[in-house]
Structure 1
Amino acid sequence: MRSSRRHPLLVPALLCAFAALGARPTDATDTGAGSGAGAEVIRLYEDAAAATRRYEEGRRAAEAQRARARRYERLLDRQREETAVINEDLGRIARAQYRGGGLPLTARMLLADDPDELMRGQRAVRQADLAVDRAIGRSRRAEARLAADEARAEAAWRGLEQRNTELAALKQDIARRLAAARSRLQGEAAASVAAGTCPGAVRPDRPETRFSRPWVAPVETYDLSASFGSGGTRWAHRHTGQDFAVPVGTPVRSAGAGRVVRVSCGGAFGIQVVVQHPDGYCTQYAHLSAVTVDPGDRVGTGEWVGQSGDTGNSTGPHLHFEVRVTPEPGSALDPVPWLARRGVSL
């Protein structure tokens, strides 16, 4: 059964890990061809990270603009309702004035039974008229301001949408060029293995990574593919590890603290690293495209030991991860429950 698990990918980790691919191998027959490809991968990852940040910032800003535009529209709707009520009141006042305004005010005063009452009523009508006029003026000014605010919000939203469209196109172009650079890096790794000139360890500068737990998954973002014990034509007997489907160049990290006891290339596992842990168990990381450690190195939990690849007996980019009782093949355990007992759920 195929399962997957996603984890946030640390962009700085990727940048430093790919920097390792740009360093020169220790073998004297190396021509240095990997340096240019590694540098290109680093630059592309920097561009992709920057474009992604800008895209996400623009997307959040566009959402905020849309929310403001919706608020403006709701305010405008309320103002229109209030204005309609005021206009209706004004219409009633005007109709009442029309019905009672057939005679001049002087004549109505002479004919009135109570001229003082008539004058008080007339003053009340004038005050009501003034109040209505002021309310209408305020409403119209508020509506004009809100309409202007809404227009500005809509213009800003359109600008952000255009920017995000451009950034999405930029990300696609970067992804295309990154895929091409990865392909070249894998080709160089495969050529090194075929020629028997395995690249030595490279030491990328990278920020120190500390984990609060003693064990971690060997890669951060992955799909689980071939599992322990599964059958297939690629293996002489049964599959001896757990495969993690990841792109070429993905940083591979030590599942726990320990000492590097083997770094080698060739054969079914291609480029591989084996780490022995204090409890006696060993973990293997195979089908790599490059390594960042040498035999005898001490590594901490989560420290990089190499980059994933497609070397050896492999039908696609992935990390082959084993847990062994000894450093040698033939003593493998199912790594999924082994990691689960140590608090790592795949």
Structure 2
Amino acid sequence: MRSPRRRPLLVPVLLCALAVLAARPTAEGDGGSAGEAGTEVARLYQDAATATRRYEEGRREAEARRAEAARYAALLDRQRAEITVLHEELGRIARAQYREGGGLPLTARMLLADDPEQLMRGRHTIRRAGRALGDAIGRSRRAEARLAADEARAEAARRELDRHNAELATLKRSIERKLAAARAKLRDRAETPAAAGSCPGAVRLDQPDARAERDWVAPVEAYELSASFGSGGSRWANRHTGQDFAVPVGTPVRAVGAGHVVKVSCGGAFGIQVVLRHSGGYYTQYAHLAAVAVGQGDRVAAGQWIGQSGNTGNSTGPHLHFEVRITPETGSALNPVPWLALRGVTV
């Protein structure tokens, strides 16, 4: 049973223009077209991740703009409601004044009033209330005009973001189509020579600028867990000796920790594989690769790209087979999940 576990794609470098940043490898040995395919996949992998990140950033900003426009609309509604109340109050005062005065001029009302001074005070109070009401209405109308202008600007900005996001979405789909085609090419060019035991040379992929901030990392950044350590099945002679990470062909595979490359080989059940030696006498294996980016004897850092995932060897679908061992050879495997957990890596 597949256990979904996803990590965000971390692309530390902003591309000046999408689909322009290209890795510039130098193939060792007889990499040939397989090396070129691996390079193309690595470049497109970064481009797709960057396009996705920028699209998501734009989408979040557009949502924020929409929320801002909604807030402006709510403010306008409240302001209009307040103005309506003020107008109603002004009308009420005017009607009350007319009823109390019976339509008589103020001079006549003063002559007929029992207390002319009280009448004048009431008249002044009404006038002050009217002026205050007029001022409040003026302020409200000016505020409404400002809010309407702000709302229009926010709406224009939101439309521009929507247009930009649509362009990004189109570019993202284009890169993903190219990536799917490049992955198919890499898979086809890796499987035949790997089955024959002919290993292509290392393709020195450009590494991400930012190195791992931790001493230990997961072997791939975005994945689903598939076959686990110790599981049974007809595909294995005894029990499954590692942890499988289901990822597309060409996904960059990382060294989980600093170490040295002690083995690069192909053919057999593991297809193209790399084995690293780490401090403490532990070894890690990365199998079913489509391409390698290191050579035997190389020193690697935690998080460094050492190859690209594939479907070579005894594999029923694209994935990375990852093992932890106490010797460089098969038969000494440990459960890699708790081993990584002890080093702060949860998968």
Whether these two folds match at TM > 0.5 is: yes
TM-score w.r.t. the length of structure 1 is 0.85
- Segment drifting more, 188-197 vs 88-97: 188-197
Do residues 147 (structure 1) and 148 (structure 2) align? yes
Q: 1:125 to 1:241 in 2, by over 3 A?
A: closer
Spell out the pairing of 1:99-178 with structure 2 (5 A cutoff): 99=99, 100-178=101-179
Paired residue for 1:250? 251
**Aligned partner of 2:329: which letter?**
E
Return closer, same or farther for 1:332/1:205 CA change in 2, 3 Å cut-off.
same
Decide which moves more: 324-333 or 117-126. 117-126
Aligned residues: 338
Q: Do residues 315 (structure 1) and 316 (structure 2) align?
A: yes
Alpha-carbon separation, structure 2, partners of 1:212 and 1:47 = 25
Q: Counterpart in 1 of 2:211?
A: 209
Deviation readout 1:102-161 (Å, 9 max, x if unpaired): 223333344344544444443433333332222222222222332332233234323323
Q: Give the letter for the 2:211 counterpart.
A: T
What corresponds to 1:330 in structure 2? Answer: 331
Alpha-carbon shift at residue 318 of structure 1 (Å): 0.9
Alignment of 1:1-346 (within 5 A): 1-12=1-12, 19=23, 23-27=26-30, 32-34=32-34, 36-38=36-38, 40-99=40-99, 100-206=101-207, 207=209, 209-213=211-215, 215-346=216-347
Other structure's SS at 2:257 match: coil
Cα distance between partner residues in 1 of 2:155 and 2:116: 58
The 1:277–1:126 alpha-carbon spacing in structure 2 relative to 1, beyond 3 Å, is closer
Q: Structure 1: which amino acid aligns with 2:88? A: E
Work out whether residues 38 and 308 of structure 2, in 8 Å CA contact, stay in contact via their aligned partners in 1. no
- Between stretches 280-289 and 169-178, larger displacement belongs to 169-178
Query: Residues 224 and 243 of structure 1 are in contact (CA less than 8 Å); yes or no, is this contact kept in structure 2?
Result: yes
SS in 2 for 1:314: coil
Give distance in 1, aligned partners of 2:341 and 2:255.
16
TM-score (norm 2): 0.85
Judge conservation of contact 1:202–1:293 (CA < 8 Å) in 2: yes
Over the matched positions of the two proteins, sequence identity in percent amounts to 70
Unaligned segments of structure 1, at least 5 residues: none
Deviation at 1:329, TM superposition (A): 2.1
TM-superposed deviation, 1:53: 3.8
Question: What is the match of residue 18 of structure 2?
Answer: none
Instruction: Report the alpha carbon displacement of residue 224 of structure 1 after superposing the two structures with TM.
Output: 1.5
CA displacement at 1:211 relative to structure 2: 4.1
- 1-structure distance, mates of 2:201, 2:110: 112
CA 138–101 in structure 1, closer or farther in 2 if over 3 Å, else same: farther
Unaligned runs of at least 5 residues, structure 2: 16-21
Secondary structure at the aligned position of 2:172 is classed as helix
Query: Aligned Cα RMSD in Å?
Result: 2.8
Instruction: Rate the CA distance shift 1:287–1:12 in 2: closer, same or farther, 3 A.
Output: farther
The CA deviation at 1:257 is 2.9
Q: 1:98 to 1:234 in 2, by over 3 A?
A: same
**Partner AA of 1:98 in structure 2:** Y
How many Å separate the matches in 1 of 2:346 and 2:57? Answer: 32
- Give the conservation status (yes or no) of the 8 Å contact 2:23–2:39: yes
8 A contact 2:196–2:267 mirrored in 1: no
Tell me, yes or no, if the aligned pair for 2:45 and 2:251 is still in contact at 8 Å: no
Task: Give the AA of the match of 1:177.
Answer: K
Task: Deviation per CA, 1:264-306: give whole Å up to 9, x if none.
Answer: 1111111111122332232211111111222222223333322
Shift of 1:42: 4.8
TM-aligned CA deviation for residue 343 of structure 1: 3.8
Shift in alpha-carbon separation, 1:44–1:34, aligned structure 2, 3 A? same
1:189-247 deviation digits (Å, cap 9, x = unpaired):
1133245431112333323624433x332222221111222222222332222211111
Q: Structure 1 residues 128 and 201 mapped into 2: Cα distance closer, same or farther (>3 Å)?
A: same
**SS of the residue 2:286 aligns to:** strand
Q: Does the Cα contact within 8 Å between 1:242 and 1:336 map onto a contact in 2?
A: yes
Task: Tell me whether 32-41 or 236-245 shows the greater mean CA deviation.
Answer: 32-41
- Which shifted more, 111-120 or 243-252? 111-120
Q: Write the letter of the residue equivalent to 2:27.
A: R
Question: Are the structure 2 counterparts of residues 315 and 126 from structure 1 closer, same or farther at C-alpha, using a change threshold of 3 Å?
Answer: same
Alignment check: 8 A CA contact 2:226 2:246 kept: yes
Q: Match of 2:19?
A: none
1:308, CA displacement in angstroms?
A: 1.1
CA distance in 1, matches of 2:114, 2:290: 108
